[in-house]
Amino acid sequence: MRYATMTTAPVFGLRREIDRLFESTFLRGQAAGNEWTPAVEIRETEQEFSFVVELPGMTLDHLQVSAVNGILTIRGERLDEWKDGENHRYHLAERNYGSFLRRFELPQGVDVEKIEADIQNGVLLVSIPKAALPQPKKIKVTTGTPVNGNTQRAKVGDGKSGADSAKQLVSAR
């Protein structure tokens, strides 16, 4: 026996409305005032930090990126090109519109003067290079003490112990 699934229009519409309310409240990160939160990935390499932000449909006119006092700020607004009115109405609206604001504390050791931002295909890439940190100087360590007032050092494995070198120094006086 075959079972067919039959959905009536009122039940389908109610289910769709419940899903929309649940998603907009709990899953999409929307706040009051028609705000939304774009998804962000933060990556790190030896040379830089990269912030990858999903901003489909955004234009440069409605996007700002700044770095002040160690805080990276990305803000913008995506405008809805359709308004619910006489000629059309929404049956399903899952895209987010309105303003957004994301702030990130930058770690120590980044070069804020060289931050670059580029948007392509609805993805914003903010590259923050790491500052050139001073590298520790490696100092060669030798063993032994000065022999006969010279600056010669007894090298490890040359057959002279530190005690032998000290005896030579005392007997040279």
- In the block, tokens 């770095």 appear at 67
With a threshold of 0.75, does the pTM exceed it? no
What is the C-alpha separation between 53 and 42, in angstroms, rounded? Answer: 9
Domain map of the chain by residue range? 38-82+93-129, 142-173
- 110: nearest Cα among 95, 94, 130: 130
pLDDT of residue 90: 75
What is the C-alpha separation between 64 and 93, in angstroms, rounded? Answer: 26
CB 144 within 8 A of CB 137: no
Taking the chain (173 residues) in runs of 10, the rounded mean pLDDT of each run is 48 61 50 76 95 92 94 92 70 86 94 94 95 82 70 50 49 45
Chosen CATH of 38-82+93-129 out of 3.20.20.370, 3.40.50.300, 2.60.40.790, 1.10.1240.10: 2.60.40.790
In what order do the strands lie in the sheet containing 116-120?
40-44, 48-54, 123-129, 116-120
CB 117 within 8 A of CB 126: yes
Find all residues with CB under 8 Å of 54, minimum gap 6, and list them.
38, 39, 40, 122, 123
pLDDT of residue 63: 96
Distance of CA 143 to the CA centre of its chain: 47
pLDDT of residue 168: 47
Sequence length of the chain is 173
CB 143 within 8 A of CB 153: yes
pLDDT of residue 83: 65
Question: 31 is written with which tokens?
Answer: 């706040």
Distance of CA 140 to the CA centre of its chain: 39
